[in-house]
Amino acid sequence: MNDFQTVTRRKSRKKIRNKSFSSSLQHSYAEENFNTDDLIRLVLAAAVDFRKSPYKQVIFNGLLKSLNVLHSKAIAEVICYGLGSFSKNRSSKYQLATLLTIKNQYNCNVLVYDPIFTENEIEVLKTLELNVITINEEGKRTITNNRPTLVFMPHCPSQLLNNFLYCNWGPQLKNCIIVCNRWSAIVDQNPLGFVEDTTNYILRLYPYVVDIELKNEFEFIETFIETSIHIFPGLDETPLSFWGNREEPGYPKESNQFITSSSA
C-alpha cells in the first residue's frame, strides 16, 4: 500500500466556504447550438484526445490499484452525477470523454445524471449508450450489488457525495471507488461548522478513506483539478455502532450549486 496516501487532516482550517472553485475555472466554448451529430463528433474527438493523453494512464493506474485492493478486475457499474453541460463546458466534455473510455475499457453499465442536461445532450448521451437517470435523486442511489461500483462526481457539490454516503451507509461502502474532489480539501477548506452541518457523513467516514492521488497532468488542468480516487479498504473492522445514527441529511435552501428535486 506504499503508493497510497492515507489522508490526514491538516491543522489549519482555511475559512473558505464551499466555494465554487470549479465553476470559476469552467472554460466555456462559444458554440452552444450544436446539433446532435456535431456534438457526438466533438465528444468522440475529445475521447480520442483523452486516450492519447498521459493522464489517461494516471486514472487507469489509479483504478487498477483500487480494484486490486477490492480483489477484483472488473467495475460492475459507474454512476456519474454532476457532469455538467458538455455542449458548453470543456471540462464536462473531457470528463464525459473519460467516462466513455472507462466504459469501453471495463465494458460496464454507466448511469449519468445532471439536472442541467439539455434535451440535445440527453440524446447524445443515449446515442453513446449511457443510461440517463430520469429523476433528480439528489445522489441518493443505493448500490445493490457487492461488486465494485465507480462513483464519478467531478467537482460536485459536497451534498451529492454526502447523500450518496447516507444512502449506502454501512460496510458495503467498501465496494465503492469514488472519484471526486479530494476529501482532505473538502474537509480542510470548509469551516468545521459547515462540514458538520451539511456534509457530516463525509466527515464521519473520513478516518477510513484512502486517497489515491491522481497527478494532474491533463492538458486542460481545470478538468481534473483536486480530483482524487477514494477507497475504503478498512470498513470491515468498524464496530457496528459506527454505522448507527443514520439520519437523512438536510441542507439550507441556499446550498451552493446543489440542485434539489424540488428546485424550479
Ligand X SMILES: C[S@@+](CC[C@H](N)C(=O)[O-])C[C@H]1O[C@@H](n2cnc3c(N)ncnc32)[C@H](O)[C@@H]1O
Q: Catalog residues that contact ligand X under the rule CB under 6 A.
A: 20, 22-23, 26, 81-84, 89, 91-92, 95, 113-116, 136, 138, 154-157, 160, 257-259
* Alpha-carbon span 139 to 111, nearest angstrom: 12
- Minimum gap (Å) between residue 35 Cβ and ligand X: 22
Transcribe 50-69 into DSSP letters.
Answer: HHHSHHHHHHHHHHHHHHHH
- Minimum gap (Å) between residue 113 Cβ and ligand X: 5
Interior/surface letters 252-262, b for 16+ CB within 10 angstroms, e for the rest = eeeebbbbeee
* Alpha-carbon span 27 to 7, nearest angstrom: 30
- Minimum gap (Å) between residue 53 Cβ and ligand X: 17
Which is nearer to ligand X, 78 or 83 (by Cβ)? 83
- What secondary structure letter does DSSP report for 244? -
- Minimum gap (Å) between residue 181 Cβ and ligand X: 9
Please tell me whether residue 49 adopts helix, strand or coil conformation.
Answer: helix
* 86, 33 contact by CB (below 8 A): no
| Beta-carbon count within 10 A of 196 CB | 12
- Minimum gap (Å) between residue 117 Cβ and ligand X: 9
CB-count burial class (<10 Å; 0-12, 13-18, 19+) for 15: exposed
* Alpha-carbon span 81 to 140, nearest angstrom: 11
Which is nearer to ligand X, 131 or 257 (by Cβ)? 257
Instruction: Record the cell numbers describing residue 236, joined without a space.
Output: 470491515
- Minimum gap (Å) between residue 115 Cβ and ligand X: 5
Which is nearer to ligand X, 92 or 162 (by Cβ)? 92
Which is nearer to ligand X, 180 or 235 (by Cβ)? 180
Which is nearer to ligand X, 113 or 232 (by Cβ)? 113
- Minimum gap (Å) between residue 1 Cβ and ligand X: 29
- Nearest partner of 149 among 67, 205, 84, 204, judged by Cα: 67
Which is nearer to ligand X, 115 or 207 (by Cβ)? 115
Which is nearer to ligand X, 67 or 153 (by Cβ)? 153
